[in-house]
A and B are shown apart, each in its own frame.
Chain A
């Protein structure tokens, strides 16, 4: 899970990395009050989880409280690459003398941790790494021993950062470990004209799997949409743009089903994984979520029973259709069951004789049928 800049900086501050003074505002009046409190020139920064805010006009200087209010009014509500700006960070303006880049991350390829540090910051690090690989120092970090003061000094020296930046690097590593982060990045890390090291921007990606180790309140306000409803039921659901609703068991099989539906000439409306060992209730919850989407014109249920038993899936479909009543009619549901208890599952569906349900014995055939029904509906 990605954090907002202000949340990342709060973590940095808690672990002793210097950040500019500031606070978050949801209204222009709040921005004005924060600027007045800071009593110096400020920067108004859109809080959205995407890059390129500066170019989009989402970062604006303000000399005092009145202009802070004005600039906040311009930034609040702004759409930046499809992300709506709901809040701004009002922060004391900092004058950089030099800019650097520093990050620690989980290195998927090596199954370990990686340090990335550069004496050149403030620009797209991917581009810099591509155009001038030597400009970015990349060093694997031993997962057991980690980054101590000596390693941090070595990193700083190799990347051409001043000595006083080493402590910030060591603390940044501590943020990665203490917060179970997949990525901690400061870009730019700056040295100010008065020789202070400050994290001017921050990006942190936390590992959702480690949430049980941390007390955090990072929940986004619920918009009551299907994704939130699915999450509340413990379902893995992603909304897509098409018209064929797709439910299956196991992430790989569902992704594959989306591809096969696309290959059959239709666009999938969603990704919905009922997971392993799904009960009838889970199947019913999933079907209800999908049928609540008005874009869905046909549904494809693709299950390969392994841990999941196909009779449970079939019972779930029957239960869901009973619960849904009228709402379950009208849109066809194509079902393909294979694997564990498939015959029993097929028989349950046959005997239920629901007018919306039709069974197809192969994955390809079922996808083609669902695609055709969506197009013809």
Chain B
């Protein structure tokens, strides 16, 4: 089993004919993803060749959904057009929209997030997407790091997602979700925790957080009240100075809020075991699973 994305998911790629779109569509196909359509305004009626697979290109999301039954959209569109592209996917009723683009203005995210409420699950922006190993991949997470298994992973950071997938590759994952590091994102840690809790294919959860905001504190409160599966966490940024943005737009310690220490303490108070490094986090997960057996 998996959350949000399965072998039955039919994926369309917005911006497929661009350089990034082409490259990552090829990788998604190689990972077993059923990519059924591309969308590029003005290029409808063409098709794109990916070795043995030819994918039709449509001029609009609505048309692509109508013709192919796509139910997931992955957005590789430059920042200035991303807001419009996501709103188009929402209007077309696509149930899951994964926004890879980095550098989307926050106002655009707030707007499409509001429009999507109750209609479309949005993941991202500025995220690596999600992968259900062995089934499907929507985004840019490398597919060959790990295998199918029973751990769920939710992370603000792309490369830390890969690092933990790698450290626990022998155990394998149900689904790994990169939710993105922007101040406002469509899907939160809590949304993923809820889905993993309900997924019979997931036995334990890895949660990766970062400095900035209070998403980890909120996740901790949710875990304390609603999650019965074991959760192991890692928080990056203990050495980050106040007031400096550390890479992600949202990764900033403001005054006393948003520190890694505060997040770690909140998670531990909720019964979550928190590693000080990625490797220690992986060890904690192993011991938690060994104890559960």
A108 touches B105 (CB 8 A): no
B48 contacts the other chain (CB 8 A): no
A79 contacts the other chain (CB 8 A): no
**Which of A208, A209, A253 interacts with B160 by CB under 8 Å?**
A253
User: Which residues of A213-264 are within 8 A (CB) of B?
Assistant: 213, 236, 238, 240, 248-256, 258-263
Residues 105-117 of chain A, each 1 if its beta carbon lies under 8 Å from chain B, else 0: 0101101110000
**Which of B110, B210, B218 interacts with A255 by CB under 8 Å?**
B210
A255 touches B162 (CB 8 A): no
Residues 260-279 of chain A, each 1 if its beta carbon lies under 8 Å from chain B, else 0: 11110001100101001000
Question: Which A residues are CB-close (under 8 A) to B163?
Answer: 253, 256, 304, 338, 363
A209 touches B103 (CB 8 A): yes
A142–B158 CA distance with the chains assembled, in angstroms: 31
- Nearest-CB distance from A131 to chain B (Å)? 16
- Nearest-CB distance from B91 to chain A (Å)? 13
**Which of B79, B155, B218, B247 interacts with A212 by CB under 8 Å?**
B79
Question: Which A residues are CB-close (under 8 A) to B104?
Answer: 209
Question: Which A residues are CB-close (under 8 A) to B155?
Answer: 252
A262 touches B239 (CB 8 A): yes
Question: Which A residues are CB-close (under 8 A) to B160?
Answer: 250, 252-253, 256
B141 touches A306 (CB 8 A): yes
- Nearest-CB distance from A266 to chain B (Å)? 11
A338 touches B110 (CB 8 A): no
Nearest neighbor of B80 in chain A, beta-carbon distance: A212
Q: Which one of B52-60, B66-74, B181-189, B192-200 is at the A interface?
A: B181-189
Residues 30-48 of chain B, each 1 if its beta carbon lies under 8 Å from chain A, else 0: 0000000000000000000
Nearest neighbor of A179 in chain B, beta-carbon distance: B107
A271–B237 CA distance with the chains assembled, in angstroms: 11
A262–B140 CA distance with the chains assembled, in angstroms: 30
Question: Which B residues are CB-close (under 8 A) to A126?
Answer: 255
Question: Which B residues are CB-close (under 8 A) to A192?
Answer: none
Known interface pairs A106-B184, A209-B106, A362-B279; A143-B213 also in contact (CB < 8 Å): no
Question: Which B residues are CB-close (under 8 A) to A330?
Answer: none
Question: Which A residues are CB-close (under 8 A) to B239?
Answer: 240, 255, 258-259, 261-262, 267-268
B119 contacts the other chain (CB 8 A): no
B246 contacts the other chain (CB 8 A): yes
User: Which residues of B212-263 are within 8 A (CB) of A?
Assistant: 213-215, 218, 234, 236-241, 244-251, 255, 260
A209–B141 CA distance with the chains assembled, in angstroms: 24
**Which of B79, B107, B279 interacts with A364 by CB under 8 Å?**
B279
Give the interface size bracket for B toward A. 35 or more
A180 touches B240 (CB 8 A): no
B213 touches A108 (CB 8 A): yes
Question: Which B residues are CB-close (under 8 A) to A260?
Answer: 277
A276–B245 CA distance with the chains assembled, in angstroms: 17
Question: Which B residues are CB-close (under 8 A) to A180?
Answer: 105-107
B211 touches A255 (CB 8 A): yes
Question: Which B residues are CB-close (under 8 A) to A182?
Answer: 106, 183
Question: Which A residues are CB-close (under 8 A) to B251?
Answer: 251, 255
**Which of A108, A210, A271, A304 interacts with B166 by CB under 8 Å?**
A304
- Nearest-CB distance from A105 to chain B (Å)? 10
Known interface pairs A212-B80, A259-B237, A304-B162; A251-B278 also in contact (CB < 8 Å): no
Question: Which A residues are CB-close (under 8 A) to B166?
Answer: 304, 338-339
Question: Which B residues are CB-close (under 8 A) to A248?
Answer: 159
Nearest neighbor of A362 in chain B, beta-carbon distance: B279
B269 contacts the other chain (CB 8 A): no
B128 contacts the other chain (CB 8 A): yes
A180–B110 CA distance with the chains assembled, in angstroms: 11
B10 contacts the other chain (CB 8 A): no
A209–B107 CA distance with the chains assembled, in angstroms: 10
B247 touches A255 (CB 8 A): yes
Question: Which A residues are CB-close (under 8 A) to B234?
Answer: 256
A242–B252 CA distance with the chains assembled, in angstroms: 20
- Nearest-CB distance from B87 to chain A (Å)? 11
A238 touches B142 (CB 8 A): no
Known interface pairs A207-B106, A339-B162; A258-B183 also in contact (CB < 8 Å): no
A94 contacts the other chain (CB 8 A): no
A268–B236 CA distance with the chains assembled, in angstroms: 14
B276 touches A276 (CB 8 A): no
Nearest neighbor of A248 in chain B, beta-carbon distance: B159
B247 touches A207 (CB 8 A): no
B115 contacts the other chain (CB 8 A): yes
A262–B239 CA distance with the chains assembled, in angstroms: 7
Question: Which B residues are CB-close (under 8 A) to A253?
Answer: 157, 159-160, 163
B105 touches A111 (CB 8 A): no
Nearest neighbor of A241 in chain B, beta-carbon distance: B241
- Nearest-CB distance from A215 to chain B (Å)? 14
Nearest neighbor of B155 in chain A, beta-carbon distance: A252
Q: Which of A250, A267, A271 has the most CB of B within 10 A?
A: A250
B158 touches A236 (CB 8 A): no
A210 touches B276 (CB 8 A): no
- Nearest-CB distance from A159 to chain B (Å)? 23
B107 touches A112 (CB 8 A): no
Q: Which of B115, B238, B239 has the most CB of A within 10 A?
A: B239
B114 contacts the other chain (CB 8 A): yes
A262 touches B238 (CB 8 A): yes
B158 touches A363 (CB 8 A): no
The contact sample of 17 A-B pairs, CB cut-off 8 A, is: A108-B250, A111-B186, A238-B241, A240-B241, A251-B157, A252-B156, A252-B157, A253-B159, A254-B247, A256-B278, A259-B239, A259-B277, A260-B277, A271-B246, A273-B247, A338-B163, A364-B277
Chain B positions near chain A (C-beta within 8 angstroms):
79-80, 103-107, 109-111, 113-115, 128, 140-142, 145, 155-163, 166, 181, 183-186, 208, 210-211, 213-215, 218, 234, 236-241, 244-251, 255, 260, 276-279
Known: A238-B244, A252-B248, A259-B239. 9 other contacts (CB 8 A): A112-B110, A112-B114, A236-B247, A255-B237, A255-B246, A262-B239, A307-B140, A339-B166, A364-B279
